[in-house]
Structure 1
Amino acid sequence: MGILSGNPKDEPLHYGEVFSVWTNLATNNGLIAGYQTFYNHAGDEDLKKIIEDIIQLLRDEVKPLEKVLKTNGVGLPPAPPERPVARIEDIPPGAKFNDPEISAALSVDLAAGLVACSQAMGTSTREDIALMYGQFHAAKALLGAKLLRLNKTKGWLVPPPLHVDYPEK
């Protein structure tokens, strides 16, 4: 039997897998704090629900990421503290994110998360790590679809120029 056969949990992580998992955990910790702040700024109830869903998704990802790192003797990245709940009325208008800005930032982050998951899947040699990222990818894609629908419904989507003039044949 070779080194990369048998139970994947008994195989060592390679440096790329360690970097992907550690970076993913550090990013999720930062995004959770940032999205808690976005939640305080959001006025639209549908947007607030999606923010809650994304925060929960990130928290659900943190657990297996921490477990992989701890099991393999890798130190965990620092995490910022939880953000307190604030009243939207207490945030000065010039310092407040508006709902379309929040939604756009969430959309960009989800898209970047999909790319990061795809890269982690593609570079993994351990099947359990690749499958974990496959699950993360699917969950992010579902939330991305919900956010796209919300952006269209609320009129927040700013599409690129549409190509409607077709060359004649």
Structure 2
Amino acid sequence: MSFIDKILKNKQNNNKNKALHHGEIFELWAHLVSRYDVLKKTQILFSYAHDPDFKMIISEGLDILESQIDELEDIFKEYSIPLPDRPPADVTSSSSSNPLWSDQMIYREILNGMSQFLDTHVRTFKFLWNDELRPVIVRFLKKEVDLYDDLMKYGKLKGWLNMPPKPEKSNN
């Protein structure tokens, strides 16, 4: 083991139980509250979806959201941060036949929400100085990027993306 590795290992062991700073607590709090909101909205959108394949994709996303929420809640408990109010376990709509919510519209809502959450993951990562917590957010970000990429491919397959027109060939 190199000299610098020994120093870093010793320092890391000494800082293992170091308290979080206010900015880290705020970002983690905002991240968890946002995840709660996304979970609630996705559950509602799921109840209006019709396409079986699309419902399966949304269901997988809900499982990932629940898993990430559980992991964030565990971090809050570990650092003795009070948890925000969690929404009810199931907020699905009682009516799944709303003509205003087509699968294409639901798809775009979810894709847009994921796009915005990519920024949320990056912002949270930038505020975390804690060496144990940054990898958690990096893992969330990587998962979100992978899911976003898959959802883009699915949207292209279904024809649900508003693709910009292709440039016309010039005669020059």
Root mean square deviation, CA, Å = 2.4
- The count of corresponding residues between Structure 1 and Structure 2 is 162
Q: Is the 8 A contact 1:37 1:83 kept in 2?
A: yes
Structure 1 residue 165: deviation in Å? 5.9
Gaps of 5+ in 1: none
2 CA distance for matches of 1:84 and 1:117? Answer: 26
Aligned equivalent of 2:83, options 76, 82, 95 = 76
- State the one-letter code of the partner of 2:103: D
| Corresponding position of 2:129 | 125
Structure 1 residue 52: deviation in Å? 0.6
Query: What's the CA shift string for 1:95-139, capped at 9, x where partnerless?
Result: x41111111111111111111111222221111111000000111
| Corresponding position of 1:48 | 55
- State the one-letter code of the partner of 1:103: Y
| Corresponding position of 1:6 | 12
- State the one-letter code of the partner of 1:83: V
1:98 aligns with 2:98: no
| Corresponding position of 2:37 | 30
Gaps of 5+ in 2: 1-6
- Runs (4+) off by over 4 Å: 84-87, 161-166
2 CA distance for matches of 1:125 and 1:149? Answer: 35
Q: Is the 8 A contact 1:20 1:120 kept in 2?
A: yes
1:6 aligned counterpart, secondary structure: helix
2 CA distance for matches of 1:163 and 1:115? Answer: 30
2 CA distance for matches of 1:165 and 1:16? Answer: 52
Change (3 A) 1:77 1:164: farther
Structure 1 residue 161: deviation in Å? 4.6
Q: Is the 8 A contact 2:118 2:144 kept in 1?
A: yes
Sequence identity, in percent?
Answer: 24
Query: What's the CA shift string for 1:132-157, capped at 9, x where partnerless?
Result: 00000111111111110110000000
Task: Tell me which structure has the larger Cα radius of gyration.
Answer: 2
| Corresponding position of 1:154 | 158
TM-score between the two structures when normalised by the length of structure 2: 0.83
